Amino acid sequence: MKLKATIIWGVCMLTAQLSASVFSADVFSGYTLLKQETKEMQDDDFLNQGMATVEKGGKLFASIGKNGKSCETCHGQGGKKLDPKVIATYPVLNSKTQRPITLQQHIINEWTENLGNAPLKYESSDALALEAFVRNLARGQVVNVQTGGKMVPFFEQGKKLYEEARAGQLDMACASCHNLYPGLKLRAQVLSQGQSNGFPLYRLADGKVVGVQTRINQCFDQFRAEGYPFGSEENTLLELYMNARGNGLKIETPAVRF
Amino acid sequence: MKKSNLAVSIMIACFPLGILAADVPTETPTPKPEMIEAYQTWKNTDYSIGSPLGGLKGNPANGRKVAIHRGKGNCLACHQMPIPEEEFHGEVGPPLDGIASRYDEGQLRLRIVNMQELNPGTLMPPFYKHPDQFNRVSKKYQGRTILTVQEVEDVVAYLMTLK
């Protein structure tokens, strides 16, 4: 019996390893791992709790800042002048700094520099609401982060952080779980591929909308590691790599996840 | 003696038995560095650690508890084990029923102490790796191994019962 169980496990692992290598080319959204009721919650805007945050973001987007302008002054009512295809390319190379910039950082910068508002804290509820609102405009759009040209070194650094940087007392890297074992259970929780196409998303375990950098730090916390500060170089590189790793997936913001 | 002082004394007395702050809520004070037990060196010889860490004798009943405890061994996160009272055994690692028929004590000890010695890409946490060899450990766990020497030996003793 015991031997049989081990053989079955061995076959399962072989299948998992084989499919893991397929997964690396064949990305899939965490949506596919959800229970039917959670899928329905995400799909119905009236049930999707993340939509309240998107609406809040919409109000902030239209709110007049100290300079007498709102986001709508340039980007049109409800952001209609924003191109969903461009939203799907974030993080992008910032022409001023020649470094990658996340969508949320871009919004935070505009919020103070252009509108003259008080600075927004990275991953604060207002910053997340604005990001959720903007990314929701590109819902259904295919993620398309640039990884070539000047982005190459940043993509490679992000990849290294994701795959090789073991951290914490449990000494794990992101890839230890999300590259090798997606779809398998860690205790009662199914491991996802660690895709970021639904962020900012409504996390049922937290009862609120979380950003990708908050989620990264929650993972670090679980393996007893110090996370990188929000908006830091490392988190930007991780977000860049994670988004690019999900190139081809559709944006689901606001997704619903556990 | 005040109640709080008594509580602290009990904690200090219990500490060598392996009551770490691991899974206990944050109000438990983090042990001071001098309270952390001295690190016991070990050597991987032919993919095995032949002798018990610190020459200690393991207690299988306690090893089973450590294996279940989510803040200590948490073996059930990844492994199916003959522990029927616990639900939701993980699927990531091999089932451990019958593990003692497949490996001897020294081989099991190395796997618990540091599986990375056998597989550098493993997901399995190294339960007794030198605290200086970790990166960016959160403050609460700095300078400490995941399990104490006694807990390692207890888990080894427990696994040896899984023939």
Flag whether residue B78 sits within 8 Å of chain A, measured between CB atoms. yes
What average pLDDT score do residues A237-254 get? Answer: 97
pLDDT value at residue B36: 75
Nearest CA in chain B to A221: B138
Q: Identify whether the C-beta of residue B144 lies closer than 8 Å to the C-beta of residue B20.
A: yes
pLDDT band (50, 70, 90) for residue B37: confident
**Angstrom distances, CA of residue B15 to CA of A42, B34, B35, B81, B94:** 47, 12, 8, 28, 32
Q: Could you give the 3-state DSSP secondary structure of residue A252?
A: coil
**Cα–Cα distance for residue pair A178/A193, rounded to 1 Å:** 5
Nearest CA in chain A to B99: A2
Domain of A232: which CATH number?
1.10.760.10
Sheet holding A256-257, edge to edge: A208-210, A201-203, A256-257
Q: Identify whether the C-beta of residue B111 lies closer than 8 Å to the C-beta of residue B103.
A: yes
Flag whether residue B2 sits within 8 Å of chain A, measured between CB atoms. no
Q: Is pLDDT at B140 greater than 70 in this prediction? A: yes
Q: Is pLDDT at B51 greater than 90 in this prediction? A: yes
Q: Is pLDDT at A7 greater than 70 in this prediction? A: no
**What angle do the packed helices B60-68 and B149-159 form, to 10 degrees?**
100
What average pLDDT score do residues A185-207 get? Answer: 95
Residue A212, min C-alpha distance to chain B (Å): 20
- The four Cα atoms B88, B96, B93, B104 give a dihedral, to 10 degrees, of 160
A253 located within any domain: yes
Report which of A134, A155, A100 is spatially closest to residue A211, judged by C-alpha positions: A134
The 3-state DSSP composition of chain B as helix, strand, coil percent (nearest 5) reads 40, 0, 60
pLDDT value at residue A104: 98
What average pLDDT score do residues A154-165 get? Answer: 96
Percent of chain B at pLDDT > 70 equals 79
Q: How many domains does chain A have?
A: 1
What average pLDDT score do residues A160-164 get? Answer: 96
**Cα–Cα distance for residue pair B94/B116, rounded to 1 Å:** 16
Q: Is pLDDT at A18 greater than 80 in this prediction? A: no
pLDDT value at residue B30: 55
pLDDT value at residue B23: 41
Question: Residue A254 belongs to what domain range?
Answer: 26-258
CATH number of this structure's domain B40-159, picked from the four choices 1.10.510.10, 3.40.50.150, 1.10.760.10, 3.40.50.1980: 1.10.760.10
Q: Is pLDDT at A184 greater than 70 in this prediction? A: yes
In this structure, what token pair is assigned to residue A219? 């993972």
Residues 6+ apart with CB under 8 A from B84: none
Flag whether residue A4 sits within 8 Å of chain B, measured between CB atoms. no
pLDDT value at residue A24: 47
Q: Identify whether the C-beta of residue B84 lies closer than 8 Å to the C-beta of residue B91.
A: no
A6 located within any domain: no
What is chain A's mean pLDDT, rounded?
92
**Cα–Cα distance for residue pair B111/B117, rounded to 1 Å:** 8
What average pLDDT score do residues B82-98 get? Answer: 96
**Cα–Cα distance for residue pair B81/A151, rounded to 1 Å:** 46
Q: Identify whether the C-beta of residue B85 lies closer than 8 Å to the C-beta of residue B128.
A: no
Q: Is pLDDT at A99 greater than 60 in this prediction? A: yes
A8 located within any domain: no
Contacts of A11 in chain B (CB under 8 A): none
Q: Identify whether the C-beta of residue B152 lies closer than 8 Å to the C-beta of residue B59.
A: no
The 3-state DSSP composition of chain A as helix, strand, coil percent (nearest 5) reads 50, 10, 40
A15 located within any domain: no
A74 among known catalytic residues? no
pLDDT value at residue B11: 44
What average pLDDT score do residues A218-235 get? Answer: 96
What average pLDDT score do residues B120-148 get? Answer: 95
* ipTM for the whole complex: 0.83
Question: How do the domains of chain B map onto residue ranges?
Answer: 40-159
**A101 — phi, psi (to 5°)?**
-130, 135
Report which of A139, A147, A102 is spatially closest to residue A244, judged by C-alpha positions: A147
Q: Which tens digit of pLDDT belongs to each residue from B3-18?
A: 444 444 444 444 433 3
